[in-house]
Structure 1
Amino acid sequence: MAQSFKFELVSPERLLVSEEVDRVVIPGAEGEMTVMADHAPVMTTIKPGVITVSSTAGKEDRYVVFGGFADILPEGCTLLAESAVHVDDIDRADLARRIQEAREDMEDAKDHEARTKAEEFLGQLTTLEGAILPA
C-alpha cells in the first residue's frame, strides 16, 4: 500500500480538499506531475487542467483548475488555485466565456509576447474543454 500524505486544494472562495491521499496528478506548467509521499520539494505553476486526487480508500476525485501554483514537499502538497471546481460542477457557460475572453485577449494583444501568452492560454482552455465535456 502506498504511503499517504496531506493534500490541500485551495481556491480564493474556499478550501475544496484537505485530506490524506495516496497520490495527486496535477497539470504543472511543464506537464502533468504525479505527486506521492516523500516527493522532492518543488514549487510549480499550474496551467488550466484537471487535478486527479486518489484517496487512501481508493476513491478518485477530479477537480478543474484555472491556473495557480503548487507547493510540493515530502510530507504534503498544497495547491493554491486561481479558480477551482469539482469536475461534476463545471459550468459549460463559464468555460465558454473563458474561452471567448481568451480569444479576445489574443486578438487584442499589442505585442508578440502578449499574443503568444494568450494563444497558449486559449490552447490550454480548449484542451481542457475537450477533456471534461462530452462532445
Structure 2
Amino acid sequence: MADAFKFELVSPERLLVSEDVLEVVVPGQEGYFTVLSNHAPLMAGLQPGVVEVKNASGEQERYCVFGGFVDIMPDSCTLLAESAVNVKDIDPEDVARRVQDAREDLEDAKSDEAIQKAKLYLDQLTTLQQAILPA
C-alpha cells in the first residue's frame, strides 16, 4: 500500500481539507498530474478544474477549484485555490441557470474587458457543471 502524506486544500474563505491522503490529482496549468508520497518538490500554477483526493482509508473526494497554486514537498501537498468547493455541495439546477445567464451576459458584452470577464465566468461555471455530471 502507498504511503500517506499530508494534504491541505485552502481557499480564501476557509480550510476545506487537512488530512493524510494517498493520492491527489491536480489540475495544473500544463495539464492534470498526480501527487503521491515522496513526490519531488514542485510549485505549479492551477487551472480551473477538479481536484481528486484519495484519503488514507481509500475514500475519494472531489473539489472544484478556480486558479491558485500547489506547493508539493516529499511529505506534503498544499493547494492554495482562489476559490474551491466540494463537488457534493454544488446544486446542478443552480449551475445550469447560472450558465444560461452567463451565456446571455457574454452575448450582451460590448467592451473587450466585459467580454473577457464574461468568458472567464462562463468557463468557471462550465467547469463546475462538468464536475457534477455523472461519470
> For this pair of structures, how many residues does the alignment match?
131
Identity value in percent? 54
User: Superposed, which structure 2 residues align to 1:104-115 within 5 Å?
Assistant: 104=105, 107=109, 110=112
AA partner of residue 36 (structure 1): L
1:85–1:127 distance in 2 versus 1, CA, 3 Å: closer
1:126 match: secondary structure: helix
1:120 offset after TM fit, Å? 7.3
Change (3 A) 1:95 1:49: farther
Answer whether contact 1:64 1:90 (CA < 8 A) is retained.
Answer: no
Deviations along 1:57-90, whole A, 9 cap, x unmatched?
1111111111111011111100011111111101
What RMSD, in angstroms, separates the aligned Cα atoms of the two structures? 2.9
Amino acid at match of 1:28: G
What are the Cα deviations for residues 101-122 of structure 1, in whole angstroms up to 9, with x where unaligned? Answer: 58857955638xx95x975775
Name the counterpart of 2:133.
Answer: 133
Amino acid at match of 2:65: V
User: Does structure 2 retain, via aligned residues, the 8 Å contact 1:46–1:68?
Assistant: yes
Q: Verify the 8 A CA contact 1:8 1:77 in the aligned structure 2.
A: yes
Contact 2:99 2:126 in 1 (8 A): no
Q: Spell out the pairing of 1:1-135 with structure 2 (5 A cutoff).
A: 1-92=1-92, 93=94, 97=98, 104=105, 107=109, 110=112, 122-123=122-123, 125-133=125-133
Using the size of structure 2 for normalisation, the TM-score is: 0.77
Kindly report structure 1 stretches of 4+ aligned residues shifted beyond 6 Å.
Answer: none
TM-score by length of 1: 0.77
- Structure 2: gaps spanning 5 or more residues: none
Indicate the larger mover: 123-132 or 46-55. 123-132
Give the conservation status (yes or no) of the 8 Å contact 2:5–2:21: yes
CA-CA distance at 1:45 after TM superposition? 1.1
